[in-house]
Chain A
Amino acid sequence: MKKILLSVLLSAPLWVLGQGFQVNLQGQKQIGMAGAGSALALDEASVFYNPGAVTFLEKNSVSAGVNPLLFKSAFKQSGSNVTENVKNKIAPPFEFYAVWGPKSNKWKLGLGVYTPFGGLVDWGDNWSGKYALTSLNLKAIYFQPTLSIKITDRIGIGAGFVYNHGDVNLQRALPVNYPDGRSGHVTLDGTGKGYGWNAGLYIKTLSNISFALVHKSKVITKLDGGTAEFDVPNSLRSSFPAGNTFNAELPLPATTSLGVGIPLSKSTVLAFDASWVQWHIYKELAFDYATNTSALADTKSARNYRDGSSFKLGINHQASEKLALRAGVGYAFSPVQDGYVTPEAPDADRYILSAGIGYTPTSHFEVNASFFFEDVKSRKQRNIETGLDGTFKTLVYAPGLSLTYKW
């Protein structure tokens, strides 16, 4: 009987990572251009976008920015007449960069702290998909010290070491009922770490058209000793012991990008980026509980992601000496195959639209703002593992602001 209990309780998957968790918000100027700009030595955010371009930055600088992100997802069960929405919660992707190097030298040092993956979805404790997920709060913070070197006047290379600090809090309801009818609940909470690298090549041709090739490695983030708290009726307590912990692994994928920068005039430049996000490493999600019982075995859930990709086109127009205007469009192909869409990452192919503005009051200060919008296509799915059956539709809004000091 307990074996069956196990299959009831744990047949559902616990989380997935999707394009939905890749946060494309790492520099206000690039965000304003839909995330394009790896082939432009625009600013200190090149530490992320292309370490090879960092050495071509004219000044030393530090900058900090934030992009309060609102992930508005809706779900309608197949056959239902009720649309359910996630709660309005604002995730705070941020970025901090510093670039320094002796003037007129061939190298520069950089440091980037940014949040390339994350997710904040809270569907509430009593929505129709509660047994698949009630909420997820996932943050990956990358720390990336970087060295960038000019090989020639027109070619730069750069590389950085990446340390990831990951935080995960995932909750869902369990389909066991208390005497008052309410459901059980599980909260998995943990922190983890992982390592990787980010390297780029920047080439500026004689015609001033620039090219970029950037590879950001996968970062396998290991969560050890996370807490697994099962809120179940006491008669089931021996099956779900208190104080349990778990180990898990989050494979954050590698991304390879090709970028082109095309100056249209002295004041206007066009940037195009194509990225290949190597999600295929995400084959399964496994949870290893410290204490197993006959009802609580370790779980392995198939994910079978394929690689995702994105195409982004942005424009930067220097309207005056002090004012820059930006805009961008993009399209991204989801890595989540049919049958694997979940409420954690209700993913689908998506359109990207963005706009940005930059203001440089003095030669030392710069303020940049952006607005980033994603329209994730509506997707009707029946999840193979959970049977959650319905249509997801998501819109993402992220206004952002950063401050830069240059010298």
Chain B
Amino acid sequence: MVGEITMKKYILNSFVAAAILFTAACKPEIETPAGTTAGQANFSKYIAVGNSLTSGFADGGLYLEGQKVAYPNLIAAKMASVGGGAFTSPFFTDAQANGSGYISLTALVNGTPTLTPVLGNGWRDAPTNSRLFKYSGEVQNLGIPGMRVDLSFDPTLTFSAANPYFERLLTDAQVGKTNYFQFIQGRNHTFFSLWLGNNDVLGYATNGAVTVTGDPTTVLTDKVTFSSLYSNLLNALTAGGQKGIVATIPDVTAIPYFNTVKVSLLLAAAKAANPAAQAVFIQTGTGAVRAATDDDLIRLPFQSAGLFGQGAIPYGLHPLNPIASNWVLDKDEVIKVKDYVNSYNSSIKSLATSKGLAIADTYAYFNQVKTGINLQGVGINAAFITGGAFSLDGIHLTPRGNAVIANVFIDAINTKYGSTVPTIDITQYRGVKFPN
């Protein structure tokens, strides 16, 4: 009897022990139906052609943290699992980690941000700060802040000396002797991304649609010229039959730079200080002075410019002292800028389609972000600071924004070429850093 109890207990114990062991061993499995393939693409040497967005520029500067999470770098890391090779970028060294310098959020009081500059330590001619430390060696992230489609073909070759981000990547012999179109060629790439053209309209728009004489970065590139130069770029990048992806240009009104300082908010603030305030007055692109509405977009830096309401005739609150034209993208200028963006985008799409390239429609995507989207539990929108996608300059992306856009590229690549480049876990990337 006692022996029987012992035996039965032994059986029971064994039963429980076996059950626990079995349990620990059996993990649920999730299969990936598509497998792992590069499809019709060859990712062994990827180059990224573009502007500040491609370089990882963020918070008003180019610095190491931003460079590391530039969307091409995130994409390249994922390409590695489908035959992608190394991807080299002109990173600042750790000693130069602050790069050109950038802005940080140092306080947020009742929703009003305090933005404070972080000094750059990437300048080799400090304190003049016009020349960055050179980077030599193989470069696959070819993004140059400020680069434009028209200036890629700069016939004077002077932009290579004028732009410190470009100058940084060139040998002394090349400075002033080359342009971007020449620079990106001869790199033996097997795959490319091309996201260029934003500045062909943004340079004009971010100066309030005022072209500064002698400053080629503030002109609006002619539509036909844009199309023909973009075609030249694509011809060069596909000269060896390479596959690649192009991206459309976001609507400039989809970024916080133009939708944070609203006329209605300015007026409300003015009324709070002086109930007699009637309207916000602006000078339009035609030189006319009129009361502004929310259809007129005021540039983000106006928030901290310390101009509004100042002076004996309060600035911006009286027809005799209107907000100057270069602070405002008035509603007619908005229409003009949108028209150029649409024209550039139709050129980009038709040229890419004729070459059989993938298209990342960032124009369509940023319009969704403007309305607000939820991705993997994260709400993302185009609000300044809190929207999560845009960095503190209101134009360039946060690490989270880069991850989101990288997935737009990856999805388009996979759809076009039948590849299975894995997507990026956007939750591993931050939005704006809030002071603690």
Contact = CB atoms under 8 A, between A and B. Distances in A.
- Is chain B's interface secondary structure helix, strand, loop, or mixed overall? mixed
Contacts of A208: none
B383 A399 contact: no
Interface stretch (A171-179, A189-197, A245-253, A300-308): A171-179
A387 B375 contact: yes
A285 B388 CA distance: 26
B99 interface: no
B12 A401 contact: yes
B431 A175 contact: yes
B15 A369 contact: yes
Contacts of B8: 359, 361, 367
Given A74-B29, A233-B436, A387-B373, A1 B385 contact: yes
A373 to B, nearest CB: 9
Could you say which interface size class chain B belongs to? 35 or more
B410 interface: yes
B94 interface: no
Interface string A4-33: 110111011000000000000000000000
Nearest to B431: A177
A83 B30 contact: yes
A255 interface: no
Contacts of B107: 235
A386 B378 CA distance: 7
A208 B160 CA distance: 96
B430 interface: yes
Contacts of B11: 357
A337 B41 CA distance: 38
B7 to A, nearest CB: 10
Contacts of A85: 27-28
Contacts of B1: 361
Given A12-B374, A357-B12, A391-B30, A2 B431 contact: no
Contact of A234 (B383, B433, B435): B435
Interface string B9-46: 10110011001101110111110100010000000000
B427 interface: yes
Contacts of B15: 357, 369, 371, 399
B76 to A, nearest CB: 15
A359 B5 CA distance: 9
A146 interface: no
B386 interface: yes
B411 interface: yes
B423 A77 contact: yes
B419 to A, nearest CB: 11
Interface stretch (A123-131, A214-222, A265-273): A123-131
Contacts of A310: none
Given A4-B381, A128-B427, A393-B29, A359 B16 contact: no
B387 A8 contact: yes
Which of B29, B108, B379 counts the most A-chain CB atoms under 10 A from its CB? B379
B22 A397 contact: yes
Contact of A235 (B27, B30, B410, B434): B434
Contact of A179 (B26, B420, B435): B435
A235 B436 contact: yes
B81 interface: yes
Nearest to B423: A79
A175 B379 CA distance: 8
A81 B8 CA distance: 47
Contacts of A77: 376, 423, 425
What secondary structure prevails in chain A residues at the interface with B? mixed
A236 interface: yes
Contact of B422 (A75, A81, A88): A81
Contacts of A232: 434
Contacts of B227: none
B385 to A, nearest CB: 7
A386 B374 contact: yes
Contacts of A83: 29-30
Given A83-B30, A130-B377, A175-B431, A399 B23 contact: yes
A258 to B, nearest CB: 31
B121 interface: no
Contact of A12 (B20, B108, B379, B385): B379
Interface in B387-436: 387-388, 400, 407, 410-411, 414, 420, 422-423, 425, 427-428, 430-436
A393 B19 contact: no
B127 to A, nearest CB: 27
Contacts of A386: 374, 376-377
A70 interface: yes
A80 B407 CA distance: 10
Interface in B360-383: 372-381, 383
Contacts of A8: 378-381, 383, 386-388
B372 A7 contact: yes
A88 B28 CA distance: 12
Given A131-B376, A357-B15, A79 B422 contact: yes
Interface string A329-373: 000000000000000000000000000010101000001010100
Contacts of A181: 430, 433
B125 interface: no
B108 A236 contact: yes
Nearest to B78: A81
A235 B432 CA distance: 12
Given A235-B434, A361-B8, A378 B30 contact: yes
B374 A74 contact: no
A72 B29 CA distance: 10
B422 A82 contact: yes
B327 interface: no
B4 interface: yes
A11 B433 contact: no
Contact of B27 (A72, A126, A371, A387): A72
A394 interface: yes
A281 B222 CA distance: 62
Nearest to B1: A361
A12 B430 contact: no
Given A70-B23, A397-B26, A81 B12 contact: no
Given A70-B23, A128-B425, A361-B4, 20 more contacts: A1-B385, A8-B387, A11-B379, A68-B20, A70-B24, A72-B26, A73-B28, A78-B423, A79-B407, A80-B423, A131-B377, A176-B431, A177-B431, A179-B433, A233-B436, A235-B108, A357-B11, A371-B19, A386-B376, A397-B26
A-B pairs with lowest CB-CB distance, top 4: A131-B377, A79-B423, A387-B374, A399-B19
26 contacts: A1-B384, A7-B379, A7-B381, A8-B379, A8-B388, A68-B20, A73-B28, A74-B29, A79-B414, A81-B32, A128-B427, A129-B427, A175-B400, A175-B431, A181-B433, A235-B105, A235-B107, A357-B15, A361-B1, A367-B9, A386-B377, A389-B376, A393-B28, A395-B26, A395-B28, A399-B20
Interface of A: 1-2, 4-5, 7-9, 11-12, 68, 70, 72-83, 85, 88, 126-132, 172-173, 175-179, 181, 183, 232-236, 357, 359, 361, 367, 369, 371, 378, 385-389, 391, 393-395, 397, 399, 401
